[in-house]
Chains A and B, each alone.
Chain A
Amino acid sequence: DTEVTQTPKHLVMGMTNKKSLKCEQHMGHRAMYWYKQKAKKPPELMFVYSYEKLSINESVPSRFSPECPNSSLLNLHLHALQPEDSALYLCASRRDTEAFFGQGTRLTVV
Chain B
Amino acid sequence: AQSVTQPDIHITVSEGASLELRCNYSYGATPYLFWYVQSPGQGLQLLLKYFSGDTLVQGIKGFEAEFKRSQSSFNLRKPSVHWSDAAEYFCAVAGRAAGNKLTFGGGTRVLVKP
Q: Output the residue of A49, A88, A101, A104 with the most chain B CB within 10 A.
A: A101
Name the segment of B13-21, B37-45, B60-68, B79-87 touching the other chain: B37-45
Interface range for B? 20 to 34
* B82-114 with Cβ < 8 A to chain A: 90, 94, 96-107, 109
Which residues of chain B come closer than 8 Å to A90, judged between CB atoms? 43-44
| From A49, A55, A96, contact of B96 by CB (8 A) | A96
Do B104 and A29 have beta carbons less than 8 Å apart?
A: no
A103 part of interface (Cβ distance < 8 Å): yes
Which residues of chain A come closer than 8 Å to B41, judged between CB atoms? 88, 104, 106
Do B101 and A101 have beta carbons less than 8 Å apart?
A: no
Q: Output the residue of B45, B46, B105, B106 with the most chain A CB within 10 A.
A: B46
Interface range for A? 20 to 34
A61 part of interface (Cβ distance < 8 Å): no
Residue interface bits A7-29, CB-to-B below 8 A is 1, else 0: 00000000000000000000001
Nearest chain A CB to B88 CB, angstrom units:
8
Which residues of chain B come closer than 8 Å to A50, judged between CB atoms? 97-99
Which residues of chain A come closer than 8 Å to B106, judged between CB atoms? 41-42
A95 part of interface (Cβ distance < 8 Å): yes
Question: Bound state CA distance, A30 and B29, in angstroms?
Answer: 23
Which residues of chain B come closer than 8 Å to A103, judged between CB atoms? 42-43
Which residues of chain B come closer than 8 Å to A64, judged between CB atoms? none
A59 part of interface (Cβ distance < 8 Å): no
A94 part of interface (Cβ distance < 8 Å): yes
Do A42 and B46 have beta carbons less than 8 Å apart?
A: no
Q: Output the residue of B34, B41, B44, B109 with the most chain A CB within 10 A.
A: B44
Nearest chain B CB to A39 CB, angstrom units:
9
A83 part of interface (Cβ distance < 8 Å): no
Q: Output the residue of A33, A42, A48, A56 with the most chain B CB within 10 A.
A: A42
Binding site for A on B (CB under 8 A): 32, 34, 36, 41-46, 49, 51, 90, 94, 96-107, 109
